[in-house]
């Protein structure tokens, strides 16, 4: 298992990203079933659930970019063709505005979407490391984003990813 997310509104609903795709449990992990229809890349490294609309789930894959489901994982589609070959290690949604989606990639740094994943753009000014393994958005001050990198430490942005500095 490479990632796990829990639906905050229905905590018995759990998604797991694995090397064989996405698996879902509706009974708190007692039983699991795969939910991979349309998921072309099965090595899923990152998952995120829209906190305001939990039917929307995002999956970041090793070699297929970002996928989105609008039906609780029943079906998936690629959301951004320009990230289709990217290794997406991390996903984070702005809890106050979940149309803002961040993707952390291997070698490409951080990408940001302001339209629920339809288009992503790189937001790496001042970010010296491009291998981003973990992302987190501050739930109180959502313009504050943290990026954990491979081998270079943690970086912080206080302007929604427009600029970064080492987190102290």
pLDDT value, residue 40:
86
Binned at pLDDT 50, 70 and 90, residue 16 comes out as very high
pLDDT value, residue 166:
84
CA distances to 22, 49, 144, 165 from 5, rounded to whole Å, are 11, 7, 21, 28
pLDDT value, residue 45:
96
**CA separation for the pair 45, 160 (Å, rounded):** 23
Taking the model in full, what pTM does it have? Answer: 0.95
């Amino acid at each position: 298992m490479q990632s796990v997310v829990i639906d905050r509104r229905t905590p018995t609903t759990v998604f797991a990203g694995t090397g064989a795709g996405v698996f879902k449990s509706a009974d708190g992990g007692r039983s699991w079933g795969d939910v991979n229809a349309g998921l072309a890349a099965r090595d899923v490294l990152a998952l995120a659930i829209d906190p305001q609309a939990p039917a929307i789930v995002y999956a970041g894959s090793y070699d297929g970019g970002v996928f989105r489901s609008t039906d609780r994982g029943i079906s998936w589609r690629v959301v951004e063709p320009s990230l289709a070959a990217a290794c997406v290690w991390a996903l984070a949604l702005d809890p106050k505005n979940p149309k803002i989606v961040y993707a952390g990639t291997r070698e490409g740094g951080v990408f940001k979407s302001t339209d629920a994943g339809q288009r992503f753009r790189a937001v790496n000014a001042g970010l010296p490391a491009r291998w981003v393994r973990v992302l987190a958005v501050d739930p109180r001050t959502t313009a504050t984003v943290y990026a954990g990198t491979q081998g270079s430490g943690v970086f912080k942005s206080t302007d929604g990813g427009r600029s970064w500095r080492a987190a102290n």
